[in-house]
Amino acid sequence: MEARCDAVNRRAVYFFCADKSKDPVAHNVFRSVVNLFSPSVTDLSVDNFPVLHHQNSSGEFYFVNTANVLSHDYVRYLPYLNSLFNDFDFAGIVNWHEGKNSPDPIFCVHTTGDVISGIFGAAHPLYTRNLLIALEHERINYGLYNFKTLSEATHWSGVLHGTSPTLITKYTVPIVDVEIGSAVESWGDSTAANAIASAIVRVFEWDDPNAKSVLCVGGVHFEPSFCHAVLNSSEESSIMVSHILANQWVVAGGYDQDLGLVKLESCFNSILHKVDAIVFHDNLKGSYKEKLRSYALQNGIPVFKHQYLRDPSKLPMR
C-alpha cells in the first residue's frame, strides 16, 4: 500500500439520522463511533444534537446526528452544510441500502448526482477510493467474510423526496453515501456497524499521486468490475473510481444525443483534480460509445472497455 497521508488539517464530516424509524443503520454506526473513539463534544450543534469531534494521525472527523436523513430533507439541511461545513475536504451520509434483488450483505459507497438531469455533486476520486479500501480492510478485520464491499452507481435520493437536483451543486464539498445493505438482518448487525465506524476515519489515510482516475459509464447498478479495479489494483497501477453512470440512467438521460455531451461535461468537471480515462461497459449500445469516444478525443484522454479493468497494469493510460 502507498504512503500514508500526513495530517495537514484534512477534515471530514459524517451525518447520521438519529431516528431509527427513518434510518435503520445510522444510529447503530453512530453508537459504534462513540464506543470506539470517545469523540469530544464541540460547540456546534444540528437539530439540537451536539456535533462530536475525533482526530487521528490522518485528519479530523466530525460526527453529526440529524433528526432526518440529510438527503431526504435537503432544503432544511443545506444551510447547515454551508454555514458549518463548507470548507471541509470530504463528507459522508451514513445510512442503509435496500431494493428489490439487491445484493446482501454488503457495504457500499456511492457519489452524489442525478444522472438523468446531468447534475453532479463534487467527487473526490482519492478519498472515495480510500473509503472503499478502508471498508474492505475493516470487513476483513472484523471477520465479516459473508459481506462484500461494493461501489454503487451515482445517484441522489433527494429527488425521490421531492427536491430539485439543482440543489446538489449548492454544497461544493465532495459527499458520498456510505451504506449497509440490503436486508433487516444486515442493517442491525453490530459488527458491521463497527466496521463502518472504523473505516470512515481512514478516508485520509493513504496518498497515491500516481493513481489513475477513471469515469465509469454503463453497466448495472452494482457493476462489479468497477469496484474490483479499485480493490485489486496494485501500488504500481492504482485505480480511482468516483462517479459511475449506470446504463439505465445514461439511456434515460439521452447521453447519445448532443445534450448528453453537455451532461457528460458536467460530470467530468465535477470530478476534482482530473480524469485520466473514460471506461465504458461493453454492453453499452454503440451510439453511446461513439459519444464517449468523441468526448474523450476532444479532451485528449483514452477511452476503453471495462474488460481492461481486469488487469489495471495493462490499462492504455499514460
Q: Which grid cell is 128?
A: 472515495
Q: Write out the three cell numbers for 161.
A: 423526496
What's the pLDDT at 209? 86
The whole-chain average pLDDT of the chain stands at 94
Contact predicate 115/245, CB 8 Å: yes
Q: How confident is the model at residue 8 (pLDDT cuts 50, 70, 90)?
A: low
| Residue 4 pLDDT | 46
Question: So what's the pLDDT on residue 318?
Answer: 58
Burial label for 47, CB within 10 Å (0-12, 13-18, 19+), is middle
Contact 76, 240 (CB under 8 A): no
Tell me if residue 233 falls in helix, strand or coil. coil
Asked whether the beta carbons of 135 and 109 are under 8 A apart, the reply is: yes
Q: Where are the alpha helices (DSSP H) in the chain?
A: 26-37, 74-84, 125-141, 184-187, 190-200, 224-232, 247-252, 258-270, 286-299
Q: What is the pLDDT of residue 97?
A: 97
- 171: cell is 454544497
Q: What is the pLDDT of residues 99-112, one digit of tens each?
A: 888 999 999 999 99
Region 260-286: mean pLDDT is 95
The pLDDT > 70 percentage for the chain reads: 97
| Rounded average pLDDT over 267-292 | 96
Residue boundaries of the structural domains of the chain:
11-314
pLDDT band for position 246 (50/70/90)?
A: very high
Topology of domain 11-314, CATH: Aminopeptidase (3.40.630)
Torsions phi, psi of 42, nearest 5?
A: -100, 180
Four-point Cα dihedral 121, 151, 246, 185, nearest 10: -110
CA 55 vs CA 21, 166, 187, 216: distances in Å = 30, 34, 27, 33
Q: Is the pLDDT of residue 5 over 80?
A: no
The average pLDDT across 178-202 equals 98
Rounded average pLDDT over 6-24: 90
Q: Determine the Cα–Cα distance for residues 265 and 270; give it in Å rounded to an integer.
A: 9
Quickly state the pLDDT bin for 299 (edges 50, 70, 90).
Answer: very high
The reported pTM is: 0.95
For residue 2, name the pLDDT band (cuts at 50, 70, 90): very low
Q: What is the DSSP letter of 164?
A: -
Give yes or no for a contact between 254 and 118, defined as CB atoms under 8 angstroms apart: no
What residue type is assigned to position 310 of the chain?
A: R
User: Cα(189)–Cα(5) distance, rounded to whole angstroms?
Assistant: 31
pLDDT at position 311: 82
- Using DSSP's 3-state secondary structure scheme, residue 81 falls into helix
Q: Which residues contact 24 (CB under 8 A, 6 or more apart)?
A: 96, 184, 187, 188
Tell me: pLDDT of 49 over 90.
yes
C-alpha torsion sign, points 235, 192, 158, 175: negative
Q: Grid coordinates in use for 63? A: 460526527
**For residue 1, is pLDDT > 90?**
no
The pLDDT of 7-20, averaged and rounded, is: 91
Q: Does the pLDDT at position 40 exceed 60?
A: yes
> Cis ω on the peptide bond leading into residue 182 (within 30° of 0)?
yes
Instruction: Between 317 and 182, name the one with better pLDDT.
Output: 182
